Amino acid sequence: MADKRMAGDYEIIQSMMIGDREIVLGENPKDTSGLPYMCAFCEDNGIVARFYDAVGGDDFCEIAQEYGQRIAKQAEETRQALLNERARLDGNSIITAAQCEGISSKDDLHGKVIVIKPEVLRREYRAATHQLKLCTGGFGASPNSRGSACFCTDLLTGKESRFERRDVLGTMEPDTLPQWAKDGLAAIQQAEKSKSGKEKGAR
């Protein structure tokens, strides 16, 4: 039986992740303060979860309404941000297997631009703008490795993430990338050079 997900004394009974925010609905049947239900936002880095902007009450329908309103607002904000992003970068299409080089267990992915399978990404992020990553390491990046983790840097946002090798659709050569991705790759590589230069100078 899976462990219950808790926010303090509240068991999370509903949750939805949209964009950069997760909205949760919780219940504490043993509550004695008159607030057995709550709604909050959650940030979870995989190690610790932080619940914030929580509201509580004794009327489940009222808290459920708050939960729904937060979901609707976050969905609309995320929708507008993605529409603006994709219009600006012309990245609304999905990269398919036909547009990239397939990989085998013998391929080394270190330093390669990889394409993440769209079905692996959350539904709102299934577009070229979020499929392209620079593979920076992990056991899964090595050929014939028993490990599967691939550590990556997103070409659009510069954020670091982890995927499994089985999540990789293929690779793309830098000269075949859309311009926004070329710019992102160049920025990441320049940042790495600057970092290496500072580390050498500190020795």
How does pLDDT run across 54-113, given as a tens digit for each residue?
999 999 999 999 999 999 999 999 999 998 888 888 667 899 999 999 999 999 999 999
Do 135 and 155 meet the contact criterion of CB atoms below 8 Å apart? no
Report how far residue 171's alpha carbon sits from residue 109's, in angstroms, rounded to the nearest whole number: 8
For the chain, the distance separating the N- and C-terminal CA atoms, rounded to the nearest angstrom, is 52
For 97-202, which CATH class? mainly beta
Reported as a pLDDT band with limits 50, 70 and 90, residue 199 is low
pTM for this structure?
0.85
Domain residue limits, the chain: 6-89, 97-202
The two three-digit tokens of residue 172, written as one number? 């793309």
Q: What's 33's DSSP letter?
A: S
Helices (H), the chain: 60-89, 179-202
Q: Which of 79-83, 179-183, 198-202 has the lowest mean pLDDT?
A: 198-202
Phi and psi at 103, nearest 5°, equal: -120, 155
